[in-house]
Amino acid sequence: MSESRILAVKIDGKLFDKLDEFVEETKITKQKYISEILSRELGQWMQQKAEQDKNLDIKHTDGQKVWDKPEVMEAIDDFMLRTGKIPKQTEFKNENGLPSYGAAGRALEMSPAEYMRERYDALGIETKQENIEMTM
């Protein structure tokens, strides 16, 4: 059986009067009412927190950034839009705004080259390059 403790809180007089009315009408004690509210609210909070923790990717490990899938996709797309080309394997560096090639592959769960071929056409980069060349 769990240990019981006492919680004393100071609340506004009008709020306390409303609580008195409520517990009298519902035939419940203040203790039981507050315990039920706390239990329900804390249960919801714990469930939300567990869901957030489950979906949370650790962003740093030993001072090194750990890239998640959306970040890798955004970084590769940004590089291709910015430069108008698919990055070479040797360009996968933090200074280029990209993770290492291996980290990209782990996050994408596919070959970065495969992802980049698909995205390059989807981003319409060739069309943009042709338009730039035509206007020159």
Query: Nearest to residue 89, comparing CAs of 109, 103, 107?
Result: 103
Name, in order, each residue with C-beta under 8 angstroms of 94's C-beta and a sequence gap of 6 or more: 65
- Note if the pTM is more than 0.75: no
* Proportion of the chain above pLDDT 70, given as a percent: 81
CB 58 within 8 A of CB 94: no
Residue 12 has pLDDT above 50, yes or no: yes
pLDDT by residue (tens digit) across 54-103?
655 444 445 567 889 999 999 999 998 888 889 999 999 989 999 999 99
